[in-house]
Structure 1
Amino acid sequence: MATVLVVDDDAPSREFMRTLLSYRGHRVEQAPDGDRALAMAALCPPDVVITDVLMPGLDGYALARALRGEPATRHIPIVFSTAHYGAQEIQPLAQACGVHDVILKPAQPSMVLATIDSLLVDDQITVSAVEQVVETQRVTGAGTWEFDPATDTIVVSPVLREALGLPSARLTVPELMRRLHPEDAARIASMIERTWYAGAPSSAELRVVDADGAVRELIVSCRPTATSRVWGVAQDVTGIRTRSRADSQAQVDWFAVRRTIDAFHSAVLQPALPAVPGAELAAVYLPAPERLDIGSAWYDARAVDQGRVLLSVGKVAGHDRHPAAVMSHALAALQAYAHDDPDPVGVLTRLNRFLAGTGRDDTFVTAVVALFEPDTGRLRFANGGHPAPVVVAPEGEATAAVLLKAAGPALGVLRDAVFPERELELPVGSAFLAYTDGLTDRHSDPSSVDGKHLLKVAAQAFNRLDPDQPVAEFLAEAIVRDMLGGAAPDDDICLTVLHA
C-alpha cells in the first residue's frame, strides 16, 4: 500500500513498527540513524517517514529539516516518535520542523495505524459540490440571502434562517430593519445601493437581533445577479468575535500579571553587585518569555568581613506556591544567616532547617553558596542539590573548564541533611561560575543537560576575552548568549561569574 521508512536507534522499536505496518500491508524500510535514513530517502523516497527524535549523529530534528530542504523529499509526511517529550513539549518543536504528526512511546498499535492512514488518504473528494456547500455553511455558520427589489423582500437560506431564529425564510425589508442594530441600518442600505447602481461586490459588518433577543454579529457580502436582484452571503461570526475579545482581554491580563512578577523579582534582586578588591563580579538573569511561573531563580553577592565575598545562586522548584514568593522568602533567610556567619555549610544547613520546618507543600530549593578570599585565592563552597559550579582557568595556551561535582540534597526536604564543603584555590585570572539549570536544560539541545556543552562554551568564551570589557561581564554575557544560540530560554536563566 505504501513505503514507510522507520528511523530509530532502538532495534526493538524498529521491529515493532515493521511488524505492525507490514501486517497492514505496507512496505517497511528501516534505518538506525538519521544519516542512513537521509541517504535511503534520497535514493528512493518513501511515502512516509517515522523517526525517533533523540538519536546519535543526525537526530530527528536535523533529519526532518534535511528532508524538507531537498525538492525530492520535501513533500514526504514525517511523524516524530518519542518517549522523551510530553505532547505539549514536542508539538511546537514538530511544527517548527515541518513534521505532520507525533506518536508518543509506548505507542498503541491502533494509534500508529490511524496516524499512518491519515497521511495516506486519497486527495480525491467524492462528496458532491452541493453537499460540500451545505456542510460548509453549517460548520462556518454562513448562509446565503437574496433581495428582490420588485417585491421588497429578502429570502434567506435554511442555515441562515436557523442561525438567526427567523420564523420564515422570507421577510420584508421593514422586518429586517426592525432586527438590525440602529447604527447599522444605514450601512446595509448603502451597501445594497452601491452594489445595485455600481454593479460591484461589497461587504459590511452588521449586528442583528435574533429571535431570543441576543445580538448576532454578521459579515455580509453583496453582489448583483443577472436577474436584477442582489445576492450575498452572511456569516455569523458572533462566537469568533466573542472569543477574540476574550483572548485579547486574557492577553492583557497575562501581560499585567507578567509585569507584576517581573517588577517584584527585579526589586528583590540586587540592582548592582558589590565592588570587592581582588574579585570581579557579574550576573545575568533572563526569565522565560512565555511563562508566568518565573522569578524562581536568584543571585546574590555581598562583601563580608576580612575583605571576603559571599556568593549564592539558587532556584525554587514546586507547584503549590508561586516560585517568586518562595524565592524572596528563601533569599531573605539566606541573607540573614550569611550576615550572622558567612560559612557556606552553616548557611545551607540553617536555611535547610528553616525551609523544612516551614514548608507545607512540595516546594523545595536548590542553592550554591561560595565564600571567596581574594588575598589568598581560597574558595570554599557548599551545594544543596544545585547544578555543579564550573571553574575556568588558563593553563598555558589552553583553557581548562571543570565541573565541581560535590553536592548535598535539595533544601527543605530532609531537616537534618548534611552538606559537604569543598575547598579549592582560585588562581589569579580564573573564574568561578554558578548558574541555574535553565542554562543547560534546553529543549532544543537535550544533550547539554550533562554540563559538557557548558564547559566547552565557557572555555571558548574565555579564549576570546575582550580587552575593553571587564572579564566577568564579558564571560557572563558570552556564555548565556552562546548557550542559547539565538533561542529564547525555556526556563529562568541565572548565571553569576566571579573572576579572581
Structure 2
Amino acid sequence: MATLLVVDDDAPSRELLRTLLTYRGHQVEQASDGDQALAMAARRPPDVVITDVLMPGLDGYELARALRGEPATRHIPIVFNTAHYDPQQMRSLADACGVHDVILKPAQPSAVLATIDSLLFPGQFSVLADGQLAETQRLVRAGTWEFDPAAGAIVMSPELRDLLRLRSTRMTVRELSRRLHPEDVDTLAAMARDTRGNGMPHVVELRVVDGDGSVHEVIVSCRPAPAGRSEAARLWGVAQDVTRIRAELRSTLRIQGDWHAIRRTIDGFHRALLPATLPDIAGAGLAAMYLAAPERLDVGAAWYDVQAVPGGRLLLSVGKVAGHDQHPAAVMSRALAASQAYAHDDPDPVEVLARLNRFLADTSRDDTFVSAVVALFDPATGHLRVANGGHPPPVVIVPDGEGIEATLVRTSGPVLGVVRDAAFPSRDLRLPAGAAFCAYTDGLTDRHHDPSSVDGRHLLRVAAEAFSRLDGEPSAHLLAEAITGDMLEGAAPDDDVCLAVLFAGG
C-alpha cells in the first residue's frame, strides 16, 4: 500500500514495526540511524518516516529538520516513536520539528496502524476488529496485561497467555515473581512503583520462564489506566516476546565479528603487497592511493606499482583481478610479482603485458583474468609509452594556454590470461613539464547509484577541474586526493579503487 521508512537504533523495535506494518500490506525499509535514513530518503523518498528520537549520530530531531530542509523530502509525513518523554512534552517537541504525530513505545498495534492510516488516508479512522487485533498480536508475538490491585492479580490477554504457555490468563504477583529471573524481580516492582508515583509510562526488559521451563526475553510496558477507568485496573501495558529477535541479533553480531576479522586479515595481506613507498625519481612527481570497498570480502583485487628502471626512467602499472574461483588477492600477488620480474628484464610496456598474459594463460585453471595498464616514462625527454590489457583508459592532463585539456589514452589490448598469444599495441606521446598522467581502476568510475559516472567524459571533467584547483603548483598527491574525492563525492566506493598519478617535471 505504501513505502514506510522505520528508523531506530534498537533492532527489536524496528522488527516489531516491520512485522506489524508488513502484515498490514506496506513495504517497510529500515535504517539504524539518522544518517543512513537521510541517505535512503534522498535516493527513494518514502511515503512516511517513523523515527526514534534518541539515536547516536544524527538523532530524530536532526533527521526531521534535515528532511524538512530538502525539497524532495519536505512533504513526507514524519512520526516520532519514543519512550523517553511524556506525551505533552513530546508533542511540543514534535511540533517544533514539523513532525505530524507521536507514538509512545511500546504502542498497541492498533494505535500504530491507526496513526499510519491517518497520515496515508486523511479523514479516515482505522479501527481493528477483535480478530484482526488478535492476529496482529500473534504475528508480533505480543499481548496485553492489566494489574488488578484489589485482587493483587495480573490479568493477561489470551495471546500473552499462549505466548508464555501458561494455564490461565490470571496470575498473582507472587506467581509471576517466581517465574522471573531473580535479578528482574526488583525491576518489575520498580516499574510499577514509578508508574504509580509519577503517572508516566515506563518500559523494562524482563526474563520470564514459561510453563514449559523455557526462558523468554520480554519487553514490557507499564502505563497508568486512563481517567475514568475503575480502580480494578490501575496499571496496564503490552508485553512483547523478543527472544527470537535477540537471538538473531546476537547471531548477527557474531557473524559480523567473524566477517570483520576475515576482512581485516585480507585487507592487511593486500596492503602488504602494495608498495610501502614510491621511488624518488628526478623529474617526476608520484602519488598513489588505494581505497577498499567497505562492504565486500573480495577486497584485494586491485594494485598499483611504480619501479625505477635503467636510464633514469620509471615504470608505472595499475591493474585489477576479476573472477570467482580464487580469492583475487591471491591471484593479484602472483600477477604483481610476475610483472615486476618481467619489468626487471625488459621494461617495455608491450613486452611486460605480453609475458604476463602468457604466464596467466598458462597457469590459470579457472575463470580468473586480469586487466592492467603499464606506462614507461622518461623524465629527461618527457617520452611516455602506454600499453593496455583490457583496463580502463588512463587520463593525460595538459595545461593548454589559459585552459586545461584532459584526454583518454586509448589502446586496444585484451584482458590478460584469456588469449595466450594476444598482442598489446602501445601509444607513444610526449608528456610536457607540468602535465599529469593518471591510471586507475574502474572502482573510481563505476558507481551503483550513478550510472552516468562510467561515462569517460565525466572523469575528464572531474580531472580537469581538480587540476585547475592546483593553481599552477604541481602536486601528484593533491591531484590524486582531489580526483578521488570528487569522483566518489564523499561516499564509500562500491569496488576497490586504485589511482596512480605521475606529474612530469615534478
Q: Contact 1:386 / 1:407 at 8 angstroms: preserved in 2?
A: no
Is residue 2:483 matched to residue 1:479?
yes
Q: Summarize the Cα distance change of 1:477–1:203 in structure 2 as closer, same or farther, 3 Å threshold.
A: closer
Q: Summarize the Cα distance change of 1:70–1:389 in structure 2 as closer, same or farther, 3 Å threshold.
A: closer
Counterparts of 1:453 and 1:379, CA distance in 2: 24
* C-alpha deviation, 1:331, in angstroms: 0.9
* C-alpha deviation, 1:254, in angstroms: 3.0
Q: Contact 1:207 / 1:215 at 8 angstroms: preserved in 2?
A: yes
- Give the aligned partner of residue 436 of structure 1: 441
AA aligned to 2:145 is: W
* C-alpha deviation, 1:381, in angstroms: 2.1
Q: Contact 1:406 / 1:420 at 8 angstroms: preserved in 2?
A: yes
Q: Summarize the Cα distance change of 1:152–1:355 in structure 2 as closer, same or farther, 3 Å threshold.
A: same
Q: Summarize the Cα distance change of 1:178–1:448 in structure 2 as closer, same or farther, 3 Å threshold.
A: closer
Counterparts of 2:480 and 2:436, CA distance in 1: 10
Is residue 2:494 matched to residue 1:496?
no
Map 1:270-419; keep pairs closer than 5 Å. 270-419=275-424
Counterparts of 1:196 and 1:472, CA distance in 2: 69
Q: Which runs of 5+ in 1 are unaligned?
A: 1-47, 49-64, 77-120
Q: Contact 1:466 / 1:474 at 8 angstroms: preserved in 2?
A: no
* C-alpha deviation, 1:179, in angstroms: 2.0
Q: Summarize the Cα distance change of 1:172–1:452 in structure 2 as closer, same or farther, 3 Å threshold.
A: same
Map 1:63-462; keep pairs closer than 5 Å. 69=71, 74=75, 124=124, 127-128=127-128, 130-195=130-195, 201-225=201-225, 226-229=230-233, 230-462=235-467
* C-alpha deviation, 1:131, in angstroms: 4.4
Counterparts of 2:449 and 2:238, CA distance in 1: 46
Counterparts of 1:389 and 1:481, CA distance in 2: 18
Counterparts of 1:149 and 1:127, CA distance in 2: 30
Corresponding residue pairs, total: 392
Q: Deviations over 1:96-122 (max 9, x none)?
A: xxxxxxxxxxxxxxxxxxxxxxxxx96
Q: For the aligned residues, what is the CA RMSD?
A: 3.0
* C-alpha deviation, 1:428, in angstroms: 2.3
Identity %: 64
Q: Summarize the Cα distance change of 1:450–1:222 in structure 2 as closer, same or farther, 3 Å threshold.
A: closer
Q: Summarize the Cα distance change of 1:405–1:207 in structure 2 as closer, same or farther, 3 Å threshold.
A: same
Q: Deviations over 1:191-242 (max 9, x none)?
A: 3344456665433211011233221011122345432444332111112222
Q: Deviations over 1:17-72 (max 9, x none)?
A: xxxxxxxxxxxxxxxxxxxxxxxxxxxxxxx9xxxxxxxxxxxxxxxx9xx8279x
Counterparts of 1:197 and 1:400, CA distance in 2: 75
* C-alpha deviation, 1:489, in angstroms: 2.0
Counterparts of 1:381 and 1:223, CA distance in 2: 74
Residue aligned with 2:267, SS:
helix
Q: Summarize the Cα distance change of 1:436–1:198 in structure 2 as closer, same or farther, 3 Å threshold.
A: closer
Counterparts of 1:231 and 1:432, CA distance in 2: 72
Counterparts of 2:253 and 2:167, CA distance in 1: 35
AA aligned to 1:311 is: L
Q: Deviations over 1:380-404 (max 9, x none)?
A: 2211000111222223223222211
Counterparts of 2:75 and 2:171, CA distance in 1: 54
- Give the aligned partner of residue 12 of structure 2: none
Q: Summarize the Cα distance change of 1:194–1:391 in structure 2 as closer, same or farther, 3 Å threshold.
A: closer
AA aligned to 2:202 is: S
The farther-off stretch of 225-234 and 278-287 is: 225-234
- Give the aligned partner of residue 15 of structure 1: none
Q: Contact 2:179 / 2:210 at 8 angstroms: preserved in 1?
A: yes
Residue aligned with 2:417, SS:
coil
* C-alpha deviation, 1:440, in angstroms: 1.8
Residue aligned with 1:306, SS:
coil
Residue aligned with 2:311, SS:
helix
AA aligned to 1:211 is: G
Counterparts of 2:301 and 2:203, CA distance in 1: 51
Q: Contact 1:309 / 1:373 at 8 angstroms: preserved in 2?
A: yes
TM-score by length of 1: 0.71
* C-alpha deviation, 1:320, in angstroms: 2.5
Q: Contact 2:434 / 2:474 at 8 angstroms: preserved in 1?
A: no
Counterparts of 2:171 and 2:469, CA distance in 1: 79
Q: Summarize the Cα distance change of 1:301–1:233 in structure 2 as closer, same or farther, 3 Å threshold.
A: same
Q: Which runs of 5+ in 2 are unaligned?
A: 1-46, 48-66, 78-119
Counterparts of 2:157 and 2:354, CA distance in 1: 76
Counterparts of 1:281 and 1:70, CA distance in 2: 43
Counterparts of 2:153 and 2:384, CA distance in 1: 90
Residue aligned with 1:475, SS:
helix
Q: Summarize the Cα distance change of 1:195–1:286 in structure 2 as closer, same or farther, 3 Å threshold.
A: closer
AA aligned to 1:414 is: V
Q: Summarize the Cα distance change of 1:456–1:198 in structure 2 as closer, same or farther, 3 Å threshold.
A: closer
Counterparts of 2:75 and 2:193, CA distance in 1: 50
Q: Summarize the Cα distance change of 1:462–1:205 in structure 2 as closer, same or farther, 3 Å threshold.
A: closer
Counterparts of 1:148 and 1:481, CA distance in 2: 64
Residue aligned with 2:463, SS:
helix
Counterparts of 1:465 and 1:201, CA distance in 2: 60
Instruction: Write out the 4+ residue segments of structure 1 that deviate beyond 6 Å after TM superposition.
Output: none
Counterparts of 2:282 and 2:308, CA distance in 1: 10
